[in-house]
Amino acid sequence: MTLNLSSFYGRLSVARGNDSPELILCVQNVVRKLIHEETNAQRPGMLLGKIQSGKTRAFLGIISEAFDNNFEIAIVLTKGTKTLSNQTVARFKKDFGIFIEEDTVSLFDIMSMPLKLTGNERGRKLIFVAKKQKDNLTRIFKLFSETHPDLATKRVLLVDDEADTASIRFVKKKTTEDIEQGKIADQMDGMRRLINRLSYLQVTATPYALYLQPSAYGEEGDNCVYLPKRPCFTELLPIHDAYVGGGDYFGTFDSDDPRAYLYTEVSEEEQETLRSLDGRSVLQSRAFTNTKITVFRQSIVAFISAAIIRRLQQKVSGDKRLSKYAMVVHNDVKKSAHKFQSELVDSLLTAFREDAVAGGAQLRKIFDAAFDDLLLSVRADGGSIPEADSVFQELRAALQGDDVVVSEVNSDNDVAALLNTDAELHLRTPYNIFIGGNILDRGITIPNLISFYYGRNPKKMQADTVLQHSRMYGARNHRDLAVTRFYTSRGVYERLETIDNFESALRNAFESGAHDRGVAFIQTDANRRIVPCAPNKIMMTNTVSIDSGGRLLPVGFEMLAMSHIRHHIASVDALIPLSCIDTDKPALSDTSTAHEILGLIAKTMDVSATAWDWNALSAVIDYFSRLPAGAGHFDKIWIAGFTGRTINRLRAGKRFSNAPDTKQQRDLAELYARDIPMLLLFKQEGLKSQGWTDQTFWWPVLIGPHDAMPCIFATDAADVG
């Protein structure tokens, strides 16, 4: 992949060590789509990456490439924290430093910029960074509407980082059933309407709420009640070679792979102990003996020992700079729990230190168990194995030297005080333990994280929130995986594994083209109490759920006039394979045949009084038919037709009939529709005596694959109350 080395992006790429060919292609694809697919304030685009996979690097590249393509201004909106805003500004200063120094680009934090820009400054490429927070967005709006209205006429790229946070929220008014948009989202809509030539790029790793939006809220065009949030295109950020993610933590590995040892099970009782202030009985006096914290106690010793092993390995390899390492404890959101956990760790370290001074007899028992466990993965990795006694002596020295630093992280100010010059959590010593809650999620980079004790276990897990907790993902030294450990309960581990499967399925579906009809399918798992996102994010959406083997069919429709539909019915007759009509042998067909049949049937029915969406039905077929990897089933569907059906239009209670299929057909679908869907077609006599209009018609029923995970998707329209 070649770049013009005198261009903004060419120079940027060289300055930061040359982007990979895959990233260059991704950057260029995004800008091309922003230009040629006419994304604008009404039509956002999406850059979809994995957790800590280099999204910031990518969108900085996209901004520089946009500057090469006549964009004049970039507005970057960050999650509403000072930490993330400062982190973004610091990253821009680092990557765009050459342009800032030569005055071709000016960078501003919206809350600390000059009251007015000079004419010279307005003639440069401009970058504004703002938090998604009321005062920040008010200043952006005022800058473009009052201070310098000429800026609103320029070509602007709006980059919404962590676009599923704050940018989308709906609430019910207190006194009515009406729904209104959240304040931040409303301000963003105002900004999108203000700027004449605006392209809008959403960036996130957890896009579920965005894909579950309708394509419009109310009428299309400038009269939309709220501006659309659903992406009109998605570009996948490539996964770089150094990335460690869910595939490493939740994959299946043989004993000769160090990743087979990453997970260590914790009892739910232990995690509950760490949440409760009643657990104060586990403090220093019983540090070595209390059975309520067995794994937690060992995790502290294992973390320090793991860091020692890696540093000893680095010495053997001749590395001049030895790494420092981090452990994170994220067991609860409450500050009181964090305070208790911090006290507990301090008490354990004090007890360990006192025992180390006395010779380390009690500490050695915990160390031996931790070292034996680490030895399994170090051997599997093929790395050098230090002597146990050498590691233990280093452990004693670290404890006696107070080299283990414990930091409680509860607020923006806490994080800001702990950041280094690269806007990452600063590792003061070789052994750093961070204790906190939600503040340690989106955008916070924790270098060399080799121990993660995680205990969040709500009644319902929101997939987007939980994925953002996964700070152990990211660019990691793969040799560190040999000493990395992930501590959580079996129930939480299985729910996290399911969420990782959801993320992989979403990405794979984009790669296979399963979302090409503009409808994205989000997997769910009611049995494990997992939902894609917070309910207030999709309050305006008509969502449709499809269970394994579930049915989708139009209900409550009116038939159009016979003179209008007769030839369409005949065309459907001709398209259905004869071998599958009124038999127990469905025909394996191309999905194009199913789409053609459904297109004809759509011309025979009036569904305007229903919530039925023909495009969504076609999207469901594409999605499920493109998931299978083998058996010649890609882009295939089973079709079966049945004639001479006589069903009443209304059933008991004056409700519309919704079951043209019988148990016999459902059993047939269960037999055949395992990995791909089945389209059942029922030719109804449509008798007037049964509530119809004395004309035959085809009634389609789509059966989802029985072996597929349940999904949820959004239809094209939303009610605005």
pLDDT band (50, 70, 90) for residue 224: low
- pLDDT at 718 > cutoff 80: no
Give the residue-averaged pLDDT of 479-494: 95
Give the residue-averaged pLDDT of 660-672: 95
pLDDT band (50, 70, 90) for residue 40: low
pLDDT band (50, 70, 90) for residue 85: confident
Q: Tokens 């003639």 sit at which residue?
A: 123
The pLDDT assigned to 219 comes to 58
Strands 474-475 and 243-244: antiparallel
- pLDDT at 721 > cutoff 50: no
Pick the CATH number of 8-236 from 2.170.8.10, 3.40.50.12780, 3.30.479.30, 3.40.50.300: 3.40.50.300
Give the residue-averaged pLDDT of 547-564: 92
For the chain, give the percent of residues with pLDDT over 90.
68
- pLDDT at 285 > cutoff 70: no
Taking all residues of the chain, what is their mean pLDDT, rounded to a whole number?
90
pLDDT band (50, 70, 90) for residue 443: low
- pLDDT at 606 > cutoff 70: yes
**Domain spans, the chain:** 8-236, 274-403+427-437+444-462+477-488, 549-705
Q: Which tens digits make up the pLDDT trace of 228-256?
A: 899 999 999 999 999 999 999 999 999 99
The pLDDT assigned to 627 comes to 82
Asked whether the beta carbons of 208 and 164 are under 8 A apart, the reply is: yes
The pLDDT assigned to 423 comes to 62
Give the residue-averaged pLDDT of 534-555: 89
Q: What tokens does 101 get?
A: 């120094």
- pLDDT at 84 > cutoff 90: no
The pLDDT assigned to 280 comes to 53
The pLDDT assigned to 199 comes to 94
The CA distance from 4 to 153, in Å, is: 28
The CA distance from 156 to 127, in Å, is: 10
Highest mean pLDDT among 543-557, 625-639, 706-720: 543-557
| Residue in 212, 153, 225 with CA at minimum distance from that of residue 185 | 225
Q: Which tens digits make up the pLDDT trace of 384-403?
A: 999 999 999 999 999 999 99
- pLDDT at 416 > cutoff 80: no
Q: Which residues of 442-476 are buried (b: 16+ CB within 10 A; e: fewer)?
A: bbbbbbbbbbbbbbbbeeebbbbbbbbbbbbbbeb
Provide the β-strand partners of residue 678.
638, 703
Asked whether the beta carbons of 712 and 524 are under 8 A apart, the reply is: yes
The pLDDT assigned to 442 comes to 64
DSSP string, 226-261: B---S-SEEEEPPPPTTEE-HHHHSS---TTSGGGG
The pLDDT assigned to 699 comes to 98
The CA distance from 305 to 585, in Å, is: 63
pLDDT band (50, 70, 90) for residue 289: confident
pLDDT band (50, 70, 90) for residue 719: very low
Note if the pTM is more than 0.85: yes
The CA distance from 62 to 306, in Å, is: 39
Q: Which tens digits make up the pLDDT trace of 673-692?
A: 999 999 999 999 999 999 99
- pLDDT at 223 > cutoff 60: no
- pLDDT at 22 > cutoff 90: yes
pLDDT band (50, 70, 90) for residue 583: very high
Q: Which tens digits make up the pLDDT trace of 324-343?
A: 999 999 988 888 888 889 98
